Structures are given as C-alpha cells and as structure tokens.
C-alpha cells in the first residue's frame, strides 16, 4: 500500500469511532489523496445528515464495502493507476448531495541504480558517477543525492511537473583521490509530496566500491626522454672528438686548419673596398 495511504486509513478508523451510536456528523477525512500507482485506497463516504438514503461511491474502479453505518460507508478501492475523481453521493431530506474525492497517482522511486563509469581508476583520473531512478512521477520535488560515504558529492532537485513517469538521471564528473578507495559510493532518492498532501518516500541504491590505483608511468614520455638524452650524449661526444682531434693535430703540426680557414675569411672581409 502507498506510504501515504496511512492517513486515509486513519481517517476511516476515526470515522468509524465517531459514527458508532452517534447522531453527530462523522469525521470525513481528506478530500485530496495521494496514492501510489497500482495500490489501493480507503475511502470513507460520510453523509451530511444522520439518516441519508442511497449512500454510494461512484467509480469505475474495483471497490469493496468494508463496513457501513447509517451515516457512512467505508470502501476499499483497488488498482488505482491514474488520477481519478471519486463521487460519494447520497440523499438527505429528498435532496441529492455529493462529495468529490480527488485522487492523484504518483510513481514512487522503487529502484535507485548507481553506476560508476570505471570500477578501477588511477589517482587523478576523471570518472563519472550516474544515478538513475526509473519511472517516477511527479518529478517535481524529487531530490537525488550522490554520496561518497556520508559526504555529499552532488545533489539535484527536479522541477518538472509532467504527470507521466520518467526516468530521473543525475550525472556527476569527479577526479579520483587516494581516499576514494576507502569509501562506498551510493545514491539516495527522496520524493517529497508534503505540499500535495502526501509525505516522503526514500530509497537508497546498493553501494559501489571504487578501486583507486597509483598512476602508471607514461612509457612514451620515458622513451622520448631517453632518446633526447642519447642525442645529447651523441652530440657531446662528436663535439669532444672534434676538439680533441684539433688539439692533437695542432700538437703534431702546430697548425689548426679550422682556425686558419677562419682567419683567411676575416682577412678577405677586411680587404674588401668600402
């Protein structure tokens, strides 16, 4: 039964207590009711006089008369799947009267599904948390909260007013930290219908664990660094070989070919007319 049907049953129970052996008007209960889809609701038809006739509940839904007294009748209405208007009609002193029960059907969060884009990530890696609440309505007033342990990572309250059931989906991107591996990730869905005469429905997903690893080395960068170092060593080796060969040549001949070529180039430049 709907978690909000308790008020309807309480009203019906109070109606029976008030009406037994009493000539006063019974407690009638709320005229606006919230009922979960496919569930049942207790409806108490109470007349405005003490000796009504033709006291009936008009509805196309299946109903069962549970108990009755002179001034009221208690019905159970089954399989409510859409918004309905139930008419409680009766005749007092030859005048037909009626009372309307407005029933609003809601689709509570029966499942809360949490998905991690990765089950194993390296420290500093971006990953996505998704929470899906299938087939809920109304979305207005539904709050979805993503948790890491008891810490709130993200929450979102929906404002859509479509009466038909929709999947509520919330995603959140975050970066993996070392401490993430020590906590469970979970998702909570809370439907708040108190402004509509209902109550609160709360569901929690199964927890998910994230494996966090140390970042793996970037082998491509390592190879590039090794190649650069080897190139530097090669260039240095060639330069040193050149220097030592020049020194060796000067020691044997007393002449530096490279330096001589450089000096000739300088002299030819100075000799050019201005």
Please state, for a pLDDT cut of 70, what percent of the chain lies above it.
77
Please state, for a pLDDT cut of 90, what percent of the chain lies above it.
38
Q: What's the pLDDT at 144? A: 97
- Please determine, for residue 251, whether its predicted confidence score (pLDDT) is greater than 70: no
Q: What's the pLDDT at 55? A: 92
Q: Between 84 and 219, whose confidence is greater?
A: 84
Q: Using one digit for the tens of pLDDT, what is the confidence trace for 153-209?
A: 999 999 877 778 889 999 999 999 988 888 899 999 999 888 777 788 999 999 999
Q: Considering the chain, what is the average pLDDT of its residues? A: 81
Q: How would residue 6 be classed by pLDDT, with cut points 50, 70 and 90?
A: very low
Q: Between 3 and 253, whose confidence is greater?
A: 253
Q: What's the pLDDT at 271? A: 64
Q: Where in the chain is the domain with CATH 2.60.40.10?
A: 32-106, 113-213
- Please determine, for residue 12, whether its predicted confidence score (pLDDT) is greater than 50: no
Q: Between 224 and 254, whose confidence is greater?
A: 224
Domain 32-106, CATH homologous superfamily name and number: Immunoglobulins (2.60.40.10)
Q: Between 66 and 1, whose confidence is greater?
A: 66
State whether CATH 2.60.40.10 applies to domain 113-213.
yes
**Per-residue three-class SS string for the chain:** CCCCHHHHHHHHHHHHHHHCCCCCCCCCCCCEEEEECCEEEEEEEECCCCCCEEEEEECCCCEEEEEECCCEEEEEEEEECCCEEEEEEEEECCEEEEEEEEEEEEECCCCCEEEECCCEEECCCEEEEEEEEEEEECCCCEEEEEEECCEEEEEEECCCCCCCCEEEEEEEEEECCHHHHHCEEEEEEEEECHHHCCCEEEEECCCEECEEECCCCCHHHHHHHHHHHHHHHHHHHHHHHHHHHHHHHHHHHCCCHHHHHHHHHHHHHHHCCC
Q: Using one digit for the tens of pLDDT, what is the confidence trace for 16-71?
A: 444 333 333 333 445 778 888 888 989 999 998 988 999 999 998 999 999 999 89
């Amino acid at each position: 039964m709907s978690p909000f049907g308790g008020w309807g049953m309480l009203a019906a129970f109070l109606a029976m207590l008030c009406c037994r052996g009493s000539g006063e008007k019974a407690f009638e209960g709320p005229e606006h009711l919230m009922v979960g889809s496919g569930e049942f609701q207790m409806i108490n038809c109470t007349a405005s006089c003490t000796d009504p006739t033709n006291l009936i509940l008009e509805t196309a839904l299946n109903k069962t008369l549970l108990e009755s007294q002179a001034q009221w009748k208690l019905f159970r209405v089954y399989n409510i799947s859409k918004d309905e208007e139930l008419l409680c009609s009766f005749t007092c002193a030859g005048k037909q009267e009626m009372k309307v029960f407005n029933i609003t059907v809601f689709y509570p969060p029966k499942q809360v599904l949490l998905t991690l884009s990765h089950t194993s990530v390296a420290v500093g890696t971006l990953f996505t948390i998704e929470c899906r609440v299938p087939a809920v309505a109304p979305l207005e007033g539904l709050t979805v909260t993503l948790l890491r342990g008891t810490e709130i990572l993200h929450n979102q309250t929906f404002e859509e007013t479509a009466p038909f059931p929709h999947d509520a989906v919330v995603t959140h991107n975050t970066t993996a930290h070392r401490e993430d591996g020590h906590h469970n990730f979970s998702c909570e869905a809370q439907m708040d219908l108190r402004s509509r005469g209902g109550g609160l429905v709360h569901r929690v997903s199964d927890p998910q664990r994230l494996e966090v690893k140390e970042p793996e080395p970037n082998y491509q960068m390592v190879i590039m660094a090794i190649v650069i170092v080897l190139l530097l060593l090669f260039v240095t080796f060639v330069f040193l070989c050149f220097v030592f060969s020049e020194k060796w040549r000067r020691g044997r001949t007393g002449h530096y070919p490279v330096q001589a070529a450089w000096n000739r180039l300088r002299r030819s430049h100075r000799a050019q007319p201005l």
